[in-house]
A and B are shown apart, each in its own frame.
Chain A
Amino acid sequence: MIPQSHFLILSAILFCIGLFGALTRRNAVGILMSIELILNAANINFITFNKFLGSSDGLGQVFAMLVIAIAGASAVVGLALIIAIYKNAKTIFADKINLMKW
């Protein structure tokens, strides 16, 4: 019923919104949220190709699950890093954190 290309275009739009957010946000939490959106766009692609191209082996769904788990792990580690940086540097703005810049 709904053509495959419409799902792919929706995924591309979400990816580009996430890319824009990751490039423009100053807040490190905002950058992480945008990255979650990018991972979700990739997930839509996985499941779309699983439905329209795959046989019944479910590879796309399994890898969508892998992506969800990796997104959870990255969010946990990223937020722990942000809170550790906030304790030391008293800021979470990415352009203020230049501790390792030469």
Chain B
Amino acid sequence: MSGLIQQLNNTGLPQEFMLKAIFYIIAASTVFFAIRMVISPNVFHGAIFLALALIGIACIYLYLDAEFLAVIQILIYVGAIVTLFIFAIMLTASIQDRTIKQTNEQVLLSAIVAFVFLCFFVTIIRRNPWQAAASKAEGLALAQLGRLLMSAYVLPFEVISLILLAALVGAIVIGKARK
């Protein structure tokens, strides 16, 4: 983030304004890509739009001082999970055909439900008086995060490894060809 701020200082505009403008552009494009992912009739295009939306979310992590998580997001989500989705789309045929309906008959009802949820969330968020930003100046350093993961939060870390092992075994068992 500091390198970006250095570069922005060279432009004439005030740095605060530039950072804010970039944030809102990224947020708007993330929402746009997410909507395109949900409504695109071709699932393959949906996977590409999902990748773009995930990159936008990684940029938002940078604004929240979570640089390591932004890198993780791009490596794991865009690098691995979206690739996996594209593999699954390729392996299951006849879905790129535009004549097949891709949405079920509950579109209107689901849109109402999602909109009501959104209004509910926004009302609650607007009503709550969030305290001003805490005085925490520095983000969490990567070395500190790694030390925390191995000392205070070793239980979630072990749970992750157990879940990944179970998922690995489960995927092999399910995906194995039946004799």
A interface residues (Cβ-Cβ under 8 A, vs B): 1-10, 12-21, 23-27, 29-30, 32-34, 36-37, 40, 43-44, 47-48, 50-59, 61-66, 68-77, 79-84, 86, 92, 94-95
Known: A14-B31, A21-B38. A55 touches B136 (CB 8 A): yes
B174 nearest CB across to chain A (Å): 4
What residues of chain B lie closer than 8 Å to A16, measured between beta carbons?
114-115, 117-118, 121
Q: List 29 A-B contacts (CB under 8 A).
A: A2-B19, A2-B63, A4-B133, A5-B125, A5-B128, A6-B27, A7-B60, A10-B27, A10-B60, A12-B117, A13-B118, A16-B121, A23-B109, A24-B104, A25-B102, A27-B102, A29-B85, A29-B88, A47-B66, A50-B66, A56-B144, A58-B144, A61-B66, A62-B149, A79-B88, A82-B92, A84-B174, A84-B175, A94-B104
Q: Is the CB of B140 within 8 A of A58?
A: yes
How many angstroms from the CA of A18 to the CA of B30 in the assembled complex? 12
Q: Is the CB of A14 within 8 A of B104?
A: no
Contact with A along B15-52 (1 / 0, CB 8 A): 01001100100010011001101100001001100100
How many angstroms from the CA of A50 to the CA of B69 in the assembled complex? 12
How many angstroms from the CA of A51 to the CA of B62 in the assembled complex? 11
Q: Is the CB of A15 within 8 A of B148?
A: no
Question: How many residues on chain B are close to A (CB under 8 Å)?
Answer: 86
Known: A68-B73, A83-B88. A24 touches B121 (CB 8 A): no
Q: Is the CB of B43 within 8 A of A27?
A: yes
What residues of chain A lie closer than 8 Å to B66, measured between beta carbons?
47, 50-51, 61, 64
Q: Is the CB of A2 within 8 A of B80?
A: no
Known: A18-B34, A20-B38. A5 touches B57 (CB 8 A): no
How many angstroms from the CA of A62 to the CA of B159 in the assembled complex? 12
A31 nearest CB across to chain B (Å): 10
A84 nearest CB across to chain B (Å): 5
Number of A-B contacts (CB under 8 A): 238
Q: Is the CB of B134 within 8 A of A53?
A: yes
How many angstroms from the CA of A27 to the CA of B114 in the assembled complex? 19
How many angstroms from the CA of A52 to the CA of B66 in the assembled complex? 12
In this complex, which of A3, A57, A69 has the most chain B Cβ atoms within 10 angstroms of its Cβ?
Answer: A69
Chain A minimum-CB-distance residue to B116: A16
Q: Is the CB of B121 within 8 A of A20?
A: no
How many angstroms from the CA of A55 to the CA of B87 in the assembled complex? 42
How many angstroms from the CA of A8 to the CA of B60 in the assembled complex? 12
A36 nearest CB across to chain B (Å): 7
How many angstroms from the CA of A36 to the CA of B50 in the assembled complex? 9
Q: 4 closest Cβ contacts across the A-B interface?
A: A73-B167, A21-B38, A12-B121, A23-B110
